[in-house]
Every structure is written in C-alpha cells, then in structure tokens.
Amino acid sequence: MICIDPYKRSVVGSTIPSNSSDRLVALEIDPPVFVDSSRRTYSMADSPAKRSMTYFADRTVYRVAFDGGPEVSLTVYPVYGKPDAVLRIKIVQSRDPMLVLLHRWEDGFQVLPNSNPGVVSYGTHHWPYRLLMAARPQSTIHEGSFEWSLRTGAEAALMISLDGTEKEAEAALAELSASPDLYDQATHRDWNQYLASAPLVAPAGPVTFTIGTTGKQESVKAVQISGTIGFLRM
C-alpha cells in the first residue's frame, strides 16, 4: 500500500489534511505472481512455499521457494533522501522462463493520461500530487499492471516516484532511471553513515531477562550488545 502525507500548502477548492491520520491512500500493489511455461501460477502471497523475510535498516528482502516451482526474491527499499522507491524481483532458480506479473489496485489515485508509453501516471483531480511508475527492463504494461519474462538469475525492477506535482514527479523518476543501480549502493551507504553518526549507548553491566515461553533467565554482557550494534551497521 502506498500512502501520501500531504504537504502543508494551499490547494484551491480542497481542505488541507491537518495530521498524519489524514494520510491519503494512493494505491495498492499486489505481491508478484509467477507463471511458468505450463501456465501454472505461483502467487508470492499465498501459494504453498517456504517463505522467509530479512529486514535491514535500508530495505526488506522477501524470499520464497514455491513447492514444485521456482525460487524467487523480492527486495523493497525507499531511496534514501529522495521521493522514490524500488521493488526488485529476482528469479533465483527456475527450470523454465517465468512470466512475472505485478498488479496494482486503484484506491485514492486513478490512472491518468501520460505521453510517455513506458510510464504509468497516477493521481486525482482533487490534489496536485502525482505518482509515476516505470520498469527496468522494459515491460509490457496492461491497464497499469507490469509484465516481464525472466530466466534464472534475471531481475526486474519497478521504479516509483511520488512528488507534489507532475513536473516534480517526472524529474524524480528521470533521476532515478538515470542511476545504473537505482541508488541501491547509495541508499545502503547513506543509511550506514546515518547509523554511524549516532552515539553508541550500552549499559554498564549485564542485562538480565526472562524468556517468556520457558521461564528461563538469561543475561547479555554489555560488550555483546556493543558488538551486535556494530554488526548491524556493517
């Protein structure tokens, strides 16, 4: 789900939302769906599979190994310091080329005309905000949804830019598209710099706690906590 926290500025004929509870839901993006050469469908949301998720400071990685099917991953990250986000889909292992489908559902925003055939524009006539989507590599776009054909090891990315006006959103998407890795390394680096700028705070003595399911008491030394914090920054 993509939401907007509107800027505090005047919009003719509309009431400006006053706090975070007035966020606007722009649209929803479904988890990817994969179709093999036999037309068997695998949904990342609910098909039988082994699933795992790894959360990092700068991104979240979802990994799915479908029963009798492909192994895939989905990496999602907001670009640090910019009004962009990236959804990166990878076919980790598959016997056949996979058709990858990424659907979206309109909510607060609707599809708007756009002169660029490779860009899907969303917005509403009541607000100036615009959300633009584009794909890398080029995809088939059908009614706002994206389709790719990918083999083992191949990746596809959905680029999302959201800004206060259409012109600003177009500029943000152009800048994101011009980045060879879609600001992947820059986002990782900038998050590390941000985390490293905060002072380390560790307790003077061991921290004692009780495991709720077993009632067993454990303790962690201060040096172990400091080492864990240092590891998280890597």
pLDDT band at 129 (very low <50, low <70, confident <90, very high): confident
**Co-location of 170 and 124 in the same domain:** yes
| C-beta atoms surrounding 81 within 10 Å | 11
Q: Which residues pair with 146 in a beta bridge?
A: 102, 141
CB atoms within 10 A of CB 227: 12
* For residue 211, pLDDT beyond 80: no
Same domain, 21 and 115: yes
What does the pLDDT read at residue 23?
A: 59
- In terms of domains, do 176 and 225 share one? no
Question: 212 lies in which domain range?
Answer: 199-232
DSSP string of 6-48, one letter each residue: --SS--TTSPPP-SGGGPEEEEEEPPPEEE-TT--EEETTTSS
Residue with token string 């037309």: 39
N-to-C CA span, the chain: 29
In sequence order, the β-bridge partners of residue 102 are 146
**Same domain, yes or no: 90 and 122:** yes
Q: Among 180, 225, 186, 219, which residue's Cα sits nearest to residue 202?
A: 225
Q: What is the CATH number of the domain that holds 162?
A: 2.70.98.10
Q: Tell whether 160 and 205 lie within a shared domain.
A: no
SS3 178: helix
Give the C-alpha separation, 89 to 72, whole Å: 7
Tell whether 33 and 82 lie within a shared domain.
yes
- Tokens representing 224 are 């172990």
Residues 97 and 212 in one domain: no
Does 168 lie in the same domain as 218? no
Report the range of poorest mean pLDDT among 75-79, 129-133, 206-210.
206-210
Q: Do the Cβ atoms of 75 and 60 come closer than 8 Å?
A: yes
Which tokens sit at 204?
Answer: 């003077």
**Percent of the chain surpassing pLDDT 90:** 52
Question: In the block, which residue shows the tokens 């990858």?
Answer: 100
Number of domains in the chain: 2
Q: What is the pLDDT at residue 229?
A: 41
My answer on whether 91 and 204 are in the same domain is no
pLDDT for the residue 190: 94
Question: Are 106 and 210 in the same domain?
Answer: no
